[in-house]
Amino acid sequence: MWQLASGIFLGWSLGANDAANIFGTAVASRMIRFLTAVIVCAVFVLLGALLQGQAGIATYRALSGVSINSAFLVALCSALTVTFMTYLKLPVSTSQAVVGSLVCMGLTQGRFNGEILGKVVICWVGTPVGGMIFAIIIYFLIGKFMNRLNLNLFQHDAYLRWGLMIGGAYGAYALGANNVANVTGVFAGPEMLTPFEACLIGGLSIGLGVCTYSKQVMITMGRKIVKLDAYTAFIVILAGAITVHIFAGIGVPVSTSQASVGGILGVGLVKGVRTIKMKKLYQILYAWIGTPAISFVLTFLFYFLFTKSGLMTGL
């Protein structure tokens, strides 16, 4: 099944752009080394994909059931979109790219499901909002807990390092559970991949992206929106992980980038709005709006090219 190559490419793009954001704030604050972060992230992404990754696949199949060749086109256009945004060092939503492409295929083929799309869009809006709310709540709760422990400087540092590691592992697990459907969900169906096979291949391809091309997006997330210390980095990771895991249970793939940016905004609001670098934030917001639009247009152009030229049948 050569068409699966575009799904693997998409998984690599997601790992490079989305998955590494789980540890971006920890790496930027220099509490965890980059190599340690990517190894832990890749392992727990795969675990999350295998153990809880099948719920989102059903949502994508309901949005617009596609053939194997259409799945190839959806994954290819989504991957090209995310890779372009990664080149610009902007954290974007892979789920938005996939949905933009699926909507185009659904409208073109007359199989569009507006009700499912409405559910997905509501969850998109709720992702950064949820990250922001959880960050504000956790900031004060964990702060009170740490103050009661009355730790010295070395103990405080050790607690935070373990907190960042555990929170990042949990965030990676939640990402795998939630986002593996973005990668290979369109390839799961009759005469294609089984749900388990889709989760396994998707989880491995995401891990590959984390390990090979994620460092620059980590720096963007951790340093260029608001400067984070180790404590606030832990808050952002934990808030984003909780948010993404909740949506994994709902069965709607959402973006860890958006959850993390929401968490960073929550921390920025607590610490003072002046600490937020608004120019970089605006660039990221524009990228979020442009991602589904670019994926939609690319899919339409490739669909037109393939159907008119006869390069691919069965779309």
Q: What is the mean pLDDT of residues 44-63?
A: 88
Give me 234's structure tokens: 């832990």
22 residue type, one letter: I
Give me 183's structure tokens: 């990668």
Please tell me which of 44-48, 147-151, 189-193 the model is most confident about, judged by mean pLDDT: 44-48
| DSSP count for the chain of H helices, then E strands | 13, 0
Predicted confidence (pLDDT) per residue in 100-111, tens digit: 998 998 888 877
d(CA 270, CA 268): 5
With residues binned 3-state (H G I as helix, E B as strand, rest as coil), the percentages for the chain, rounded to 5, are 80, 0, 15
Is the pLDDT at 277 greater than 70? The verdict is no
Q: How many CA atoms lie within 13 A of 303 on its CB side?
A: 23
pTM confidence score: 0.85
Of 124-128, 140-144, 255-259, the one with minimum mean pLDDT is: 255-259
Predicted confidence (pLDDT) per residue in 81-131, tens digit: 988 877 877 767 888 899 899 899 888 887 777 888 888 889 988 999 999
Confidence class of residue 53 from pLDDT cuts 50, 70 and 90? very high
Best CA proximity match to 230, nearest among 31, 18, 23, 7: 31
Q: What percent of the chain is predicted at pLDDT more than 70?
A: 89
Is the pLDDT at 247 greater than 90? The verdict is yes
d(CA 266, CA 131): 7
Best CA proximity match to 45, nearest among 162, 171, 163: 171
Q: What pLDDT sits at residue 57?
A: 83
Q: What is the mean pLDDT of residues 152-174?
A: 91
Is the pLDDT at 223 greater than 70? The verdict is no
Q: What pLDDT sits at residue 196?
A: 92
Q: What percent of the chain is predicted at pLDDT more than 90?
A: 37
Q: What is the mean pLDDT of residues 133-149?
A: 92
Domains of the chain by residue range: 4-309
Q: What pLDDT sits at residue 61?
A: 72
Is the pLDDT at 199 greater than 90? The verdict is yes
Burial pattern 31-51, b for ≥16 Cβ within 10 A else e, equals bbebeebbebbbbbbbbbbbe
Q: What pLDDT sits at residue 313?
A: 65
